[in-house]
Amino acid sequence: MCEARPRTTNILYSPLKSLKGADLTLEMMMELINKTDYLLRQLVKSLENSITKEDVLSPYDRWLGRQMEQRRDEEKDFDEELKRIVERAKSEKGEPR
């Protein structure tokens, strides 16, 4: 059985060190798993962000990245122009948009 532990007004929960396996309920275990999962995901995200900030790209990699961005922008502009041409052709034929 779980004995009653005195609680002070500023401590909401007993420390995990004092928790015994027999005292855990399924709900408590699921909460611990969910919290651990959340904290690990946050840690991974933070580490990934710090790695990307620390990566120093070579001049070639920076040039390649700029080229890829420029090409994406050109493709986006081309797609938008094609949409305008199609819309104009539809409106000239009197088709609904």
- Asked if 63 and 32 sit in the same domain, the reply is no
Q: Please give the pLDDT value at position 1.
A: 45
- Asked if 60 and 92 sit in the same domain, the reply is yes
- Asked if 68 and 94 sit in the same domain, the reply is yes
- Asked if 74 and 87 sit in the same domain, the reply is yes
In a domain, 83, yes or no: yes
Domains: count for the chain: 2
Contacts of 96 (CB under 8 A, 6+ apart): 90
Q: What is the mean pLDDT of each run of 10 residues along the chain (97 residues)?
A: 54 75 81 92 90 75 90 93 89 73
- Asked if 49 and 82 sit in the same domain, the reply is no
Q: Please give the pLDDT value at position 43.
A: 94
The phi and psi torsions of 6 (rounded to 5 degrees) equal: -70, 140
pTM of the model: 0.38
